[in-house]
Chain A
Amino acid sequence: MSALTFTLRSAPAQRVDAGMLTPTALAGQAVSDIAAIMLKLGKRALRADELFDIAGDDTTDIVFRGDCSKLERIGAGMKSGRVTVDGDAGPYVGQGLLGGTITVAGSAGAFCATGMKGGRIDIVGNVGESAGGAIPGEMKGMAGGLLLVGGNAGDRLGDRMRRGQILVGGNAGDYCGTRMIAGTIAVAGTLGAYPAYGMKRGTLILNALPAQMLPTIVDCGAHRLGFLSLLYASWKGLPGPFGALDASACTVRRYMGDMAVGGRGELLVRG
């Protein structure tokens, strides 16, 4: 058995919903059936084999090749298995992911990991806005699992995030952790303006204070927080700066907020 590989014949002009090409959705299907799956491209519908060259037969290990930046919902809702994107991916990567792993060698579009409940997503490059955030109309963003971003994250990272962890090796944009309900976001680089706007609970772990802070985020002083040693230990070995943190270095400066909404969230700035 070799990985089931979808290689784009040419970059599609319009968005394509790739959410039905996951290990969970394709489990038990013959390659001939998979080739006949109808995919929407604008107002047209195309057979999968019209869009992709399909090779391999292992539906638990799916690979996308070519310029996939127009492919939406890659790995959406899958329960197990592995999806790999050799280049960039479009928006909604891993939407509603329940288990398994998704790896994007390039960058991913907006709303990556929205509604994710379990599993792991590795984005080697950057993610667009609202990674781990709630799509319009949804009450919650990411609700479990791990999103690892090697590069930078866009604005509103973790908007309305409910649970799970997002680790960003680069920088994050404005309004990081906005309206966050719970969960953990760690950013190794810098942060844009006004993080934790409307934050209710949850944790932002930063290496430096953001340039612009809301006045409703209050300073609670420098403290040793024991849970950080467990958290850092659980990250040990992950790619990027968080996999090599010293588990005993648990002293952080703690800010609480957003007090404008009676929030009990926290920004922890590592010393």
Chain B
Amino acid sequence: MIINGVAIDDTFAEAFGMRGIRLIITAYNETWALHSANALTGFATSVIACGAEAGIERMMSPDETPDGRPGVSVLVFAVSSKELIKQIERRVGQCVLTSPTSAIFAGLDEGDPVPMGKTLRYFGDGFQTSKQIAGKRYWRIPVMDGEFLVQDTARMVKAVGGGNFLVLADTQVQALEACEAAIVDMRKLREIVMPFPGGVVRSGSKVGSKYKALSASTNDAFCPTLRGATKSELDERIGAVLEIVIDGLTDASVKKAMEVGMRAVCRIGAAGGIRRLSAGNYGGKLGQFQYHLREILK
């Protein structure tokens, strides 16, 4: 399969079942809502060492948010319910409670409970107050700029983490620009985030390592500088490979994001130095979800 001179590998992305949650952070203005959201979703590129994968889903206008202020919708994913609950408590406590003028609300109405205000309220040292409004409980925690308003409980759902595709290009810059174009289009979609810096990752990994302590190591088959020295997946034209990883609240949203991203890359095509699209997988042995590139781009 070739689209606009870009060869589509007959392979699939392998993704995993995760737990995902949507939270809505609001503040006095968009800038401060973003400060808080950036902090909450910071250092959350990969569950391997961050505990969570997270990103900003979209900006929200005042008429869309629960308290009528500018807001940011964020998505956070973790490998288990227990880990997600731990991550949310820490991240909301350290990144939203602390952020001037902020408030935080659940972005999903259905799913399993994740305590927010329920545990953070104790920061109020007895001065915290709860209010039940329209069937939902909120906590008001006195802080130095007024009150921190936090919903008692958010909801998490079964989600998908690790949808991906690889962009193989003549040069590093061409690969990067194609990924940037893909990210611009993908960020228009709902229910997904691309957790890596700028949405793009260069350090694709394989399972295992020559070092016993490491469970994963560099994906040498896709490293252009090792082309001659290892069992390479790259031909002599490929100068750089970049990957876009997608976490989504549903199987369909991840699939859609992959399609939108890959089509953006294909639009640039061979004329822009894009040679191939591929994907990362573990032979189908580890992940619950498989996204076959050719099927998606059919």
Contact = CB atoms under 8 A, between A and B. Distances in A.
B140 A227 contact: yes
Contacts, number: 47
Contacts of B146: 223-226
Interface string A226-251: 11011101100000000000011000
Interface in A58-86: none
A203 interface: yes
A229 B132 contact: no
B67 interface: yes
Contacts of A231: 131, 133
Contacts of B149: 226-227, 230
Interface size class of B (residues with CB under 8 A): 10 to 19
A270 interface: no
Max chain A CB contacts within 10 Å: which of B66, B68, B131, B147?
B131
Given A201-B129, A264-B129, A227 B134 contact: no
A230 B67 contact: yes
Interface residues of A, number: 19
A5 to B, nearest CB: 32
29 contacts: A163-B132, A182-B130, A184-B131, A203-B129, A203-B131, A223-B146, A223-B147, A225-B140, A225-B146, A225-B147, A226-B67, A226-B140, A226-B147, A227-B131, A227-B133, A227-B138, A227-B149, A229-B67, A230-B131, A230-B133, A230-B149, A231-B131, A231-B133, A234-B133, A247-B68, A248-B68, A264-B126, A264-B127, A264-B129
Given A203-B131, A223-B147, 11 more contacts: A182-B130, A201-B129, A226-B140, A229-B68, A230-B133, A230-B138, A231-B131, A233-B66, A233-B68, A264-B126, A266-B129
Interface of B: 66-69, 103, 126-127, 129-134, 138, 140, 146-147, 149
Interface of A: 163, 182, 184, 201, 203, 223-227, 229-231, 233-234, 247-248, 264, 266
